[in-house]
Amino acid sequence: MNAVSGSSPGNLSSLGRVSVVGGSGFLGLNLCRFLCDAGLEVVAVDPRPLNPVAIADRPVEHLPGISEEAFAGSSVVFHAAGSSEPASSNTHLQEDLEGTVGLTLDVITAAEQAEVSRIVHVSSGGTVYGPDADVPTPEDSMTEPVCAYGISKLAAEGHVQLAERMHGMCGINLRVSNPYGPWQDPRRGQGVVNAFIHRGMCHEPIDLWGDGGIVRDFLHVDDVLVAMGRAAMYEGPERIFNIGSGEGVSINQLIDDIEQMQGHRIEVRRHPGRDSDVPRSILDINRARRELDWSPEVTWKSGLKDTMSWIKEHVPEQSEA
């Protein structure tokens, strides 16, 4: 793992075997690496193949579909899969519903059949609260999402909590802010930090919706992984946790910081603002600090440098976005 954080999730080896749904995606791939390096037996569940460079010689078992077999013998199922993104969800309502809620129901059903004791579900800290939430936003704030993605994530959270009441599986929902870092392909159109860094490196323009004043809570993937490990070991009463940096960075600041690191200006193509974009999103992470003994350790500038170094090494110069 491209670890720049000194945090440790504790002794994860007691978990034995675990399954990662979405093991080929950005978070899932990093999580498979992280859990393998912690000495666990890891099953990646994803119809897409695993990145062989990322996995290297780690003994990750790969199964293409969610099933009782995929979860058999696992103490924890990490659900890090999804099929849409906030910006496109309002125009693909059925796809978003099936790829978020339907997928989560499939995970719960298979986990019940395999007698899994815990599900750690990756929800969204950036979309479930809505534009009128207090900032920084605690977990008990009113949830008024302005995009289908946020609505679906809330519904998926509810089904994870219902599964605990009905079947006894501990269900932990992690409302993760805006993760970035190694193994997020910047050419796929997801992840503004990685995408902007790559386009700047390729001397290609970036697309900016609105005036660049919207604020996001960006979190390096290494800190997300530690939080997921802590959630897998947690024995307290809470079931929903904000996982973010607790600090805000505007899109304009993101562009300025990348320009300073790369030593040249980036061309910006400006577009009207989007209704699906919450103007200001910063998470209150005090519950995670208190209950999970977790705090982010990767600073904003060091995270950017780490991400840029990874892109230089692993992503071709020519952009395909």
Q: Are 97 and 284 in contact (CB under 8 A)?
A: no
Domain ranges of the chain: 14-184+218-246+277-297
Q: Nearest-CA neighbor of 244 among 300, 183, 313, 193?
A: 300
Query: What averages of pLDDT result for each successive group of 10 residues across the chain (321 residues)?
Result: 54 96 98 98 98 97 98 98 73 89 98 98 94 95 93 97 97 98 91 96 95 97 98 98 98 98 97 88 98 98 98 78 42
Looking up tokens 């994530």, which residue turns up?
153
Q: Nearest-CA neighbor of 117 among 23, 235, 38?
A: 235
Report strand pairing: 76-79 vs 17-21. parallel
- The pLDDT of residue 304 is 98
Burial class, 251, CB count within 10 angstroms (exposed 0-12 / middle 13-18 / buried 19+): buried
Question: With the C-alpha atoms ordered 251, 254, 259, 260, is the resulting torsion angle positive or negative?
Answer: positive
- The pLDDT of residue 318 is 53
Q: Are 90 and 64 in contact (CB under 8 A)?
A: no
Phi-psi sector, 73: left (phi>0), alpha (psi -120 to 50), beta: left
Q: Nearest-CA neighbor of 33 among 7, 5, 3, 1?
A: 1
- The pLDDT of residue 190 is 80
Question: What is the distance between the terminal CA atoms of the chain, rounded to a whole angstrom?
Answer: 26
Strand partners, 198: none
Cα–Cα distance for residue pair 63/71, rounded to 1 Å: 10
CATH architecture of 14-184+218-246+277-297: 3-Layer(aba) Sandwich (3.40)
